[in-house]
Amino acid sequence: MASVTVDDVRDVINISLAEVPDAKILKMLKRAEVALELELGKEIDYQNCTDSEKEFITVLAAIYSICYLSGGSAVGLSFSVGDQNVSVLSNAPPLDVLRSELQRMLERLKGNRKASFKPTLLRSSKDSSRVLPTVSINGLFCSG
């Protein structure tokens, strides 16, 4: 069995402890674990899981970290990326790559049933001309 660590999450997006503290990433790991539990309908422990579950939880927690660093938000499998200029993310993989990987993993974990990503654009409440990129997976949705 595998275990997801805070360093696993940091490695995905090339950040350090200074950018996102351990306590914050541990909360993100728990949230990613719960999101996967809801998707699969079974109990999962991120500290004692399969390699596939570990990878999914790691990537979702990394996306949560990007949302945190950019001023965006995340709930379950839905997230929005803020518009803050965050130089720390310059070495992170593109969000589209992470999102595609997450979709592929979810399909496999569900036994190749199609996961439905529904990219949605939201207007910022602060500036109605600004559009926030938001993603909804399998109907779970969160506003930015």
| pLDDT for residue 137 is more than 50 | no
> What is the pTM for the complete model shown?
0.69
Do 34 and 41 meet the contact criterion of CB atoms below 8 Å apart? no
Strands in 131-137's sheet, in edge-to-edge order, are: 73-75, 78-80, 131-137, 117-123
Rounded percentage of the chain residues whose pLDDT exceeds 90: 39
Domain ranges of the chain: 6-137
Do 23 and 30 meet the contact criterion of CB atoms below 8 Å apart? no
Do 3 and 73 meet the contact criterion of CB atoms below 8 Å apart? no
Do 28 and 73 meet the contact criterion of CB atoms below 8 Å apart? no
- Is residue 84 very low, low, confident or very high in pLDDT (cuts 50, 70, 90)? low
